[in-house]
Structure 1
Amino acid sequence: MIDVGANVGYFTVLMGLLVGEQGKVLAYEAGRKNYGLLRDNVAMNMLFAKNRVMALQKAVSDTSGFKAFYYSELYTGSSTLVKPGEQYFDYFANDVMQEEEVMTETLDANEGNFDYIDLIKMDIEGGEYHAFLGMEALLVRQAVGKVAFELNPLMLSGHWDEFHCLLDTYRERFAARFCKITNEGLTVETSLDELFAHRETETILMSVARQE
């Protein structure tokens, strides 16, 4: 499993407990404060000692290298590679974003590290479009089973239509199916057109069937 935008590690720890002795979890967190808390939480649950979790202080994107990262001083979970626009500050008027440079990596950089990835959980505040671009090789190799991600019109506004088109190609090329995840944790299959028409923040599960 891969946790992209691991924050302080809540889901990373759950993944680490679920994968068992033979499983592995890779957690990405670019924010300096959250990364420290992530490592603390993983260590307190003995998951480093059990060799189940590896944590990287990097952001996931479409290229490996360095990019500007906007670190929220008040809401660290809102930190992002996407420069917030005026609409963001209409919602979060008291927030202050500090710009810093962070290392980036594509998910395809792991192409030789995993035979198969059961789940990629992605919560990166509008960076999803570029992160998906950076896992093309994994999808082509049918190395990914499911991707859970947030569809956030506020943060994705600059790439909303492009992301729709990209996901639509996955439906055609990889037989991808899309479900909304309800507040109760249930999955409800839906169409991309319906998801993107409402312009509401949704938690989405993309499932990719392995072709024989």
Structure 2
Amino acid sequence: MAGRSARLDHAARAGVEVGANLGYYTVAMARRVGSDGPVTALEANPRLVGLLRRSVDLNAYNGRVRVLDQAAADAPGRLSFVTSRRHSGGGHTRVVESAIGAETEVIDVESVRLDDLGLARADFIRLDAEGSEPLILRGAARLLQNPDIVVCLEWSAIQMQCRASMPEFVGWLAGQGFRFWKIEETAALTPMEAHQMIDLNGCDVVMSRRPVKIRPMRPAY
């Protein structure tokens, strides 16, 4: 995501991440929320969740980051999750039978709604879930009621439409007052109308009810 070279100028107090992978953004979020702000990170791929925990531990953020080996969805239960030995970052919930190839494996994982995690609030949610974002946000309806919440997510209408009606999904978000910005390669934010989101592919998006801005991150070295 474009956040590698930029960060939102947003004073988040509690963060949630779905599709945390190795923990790059988990650590960045933990640093951003400070010592009093919790971060909840979910990673359903068992090959990655151990590395995620190590990233949190090595950066001494165990006290403020909770790591969960679950898949976020719109309902609790079990679901089929597709992982790849070659592309470790491409894990996703299974929706198409023919999408299973020689380098992939289907595993059974626990699913959970973000609203059921016992979180008092969320000020920032980051999603990178290979098309499951509509289901995840449906399961976070209560958390989304925070008027100051900011959501940053990978946006692929092609992947999302396998799991939800894009006009209905975008209409549901817009009906709650969310506005949309596309994150450009330069880290600039381009305002998007709701109808433009229905067919938008291959980019990162910020959603908020209030204007947002991005400022460059300082180098980590």
Q: Smaller-chain TM-score range?
A: 0.7 to 0.9
Aligned partners of 2:89, 2:115: CA distance in 1, in Å?
A: 24
Q: TM-score, normalised by structure 1?
A: 0.84
Q: Quote how far apart the aligned CAs of 1:85 are.
A: 6.3
1:194 to 176, 193, 196: 196
Q: Are the aligned partners of 1:60 and 1:131 in contact in 2 as well (CA < 8 Å)?
A: yes
Aligned CA-pair RMSD: 2.0
Work out the number of aligned pairs and report it: 196
Aligned partners of 1:147, 1:128: CA distance in 2, in Å?
A: 11
Aligned partners of 1:64, 1:77: CA distance in 2, in Å?
A: 23
Q: Are the aligned partners of 1:75 and 1:95 in contact in 2 as well (CA < 8 Å)?
A: no
Q: TM-score, normalised by structure 2?
A: 0.81
Runs of 4 or more, structure 1, over 4 Å off, are none
Listed as ranges, the gaps of 5+ residues in structure 2 are 1-14, 211-221
Give the corresponding residue for 2:135: 130
Task: Note the 1:76-95 alignment, pairs <5 A.
Answer: 76-84=88-96
Change (3 A) 1:33 1:206: same
SS of 1:130's equivalent?
Answer: helix
Q: Are the aligned partners of 2:170 and 2:198 in contact in 1 as well (CA < 8 Å)?
A: no
Give the corresponding residue for 1:73: 85
Q: Which amino acid aligns with 2:203?
A: E
Give a deviation string over 1:5-32, Cα, whole Å, max 9, x none. 0001000011111111111110000000
Aligned partners of 1:144, 1:74: CA distance in 2, in Å?
A: 39
Listed as ranges, the gaps of 5+ residues in structure 1 are none
Q: Quote how far apart the aligned CAs of 1:95 are.
A: 5.8
Give a deviation string over 1:9-65, Cα, whole Å, max 9, x none. 0000111111111111100000001101100111000001xx111100000001112
Q: Are the aligned partners of 1:84 and 1:155 in contact in 2 as well (CA < 8 Å)?
A: no
Q: Quote how far apart the aligned CAs of 1:74 are.
A: 0.9
Q: Percent identity?
A: 27
Greater relative contact order structure (CA < 8 Å, 6+ sep): 2
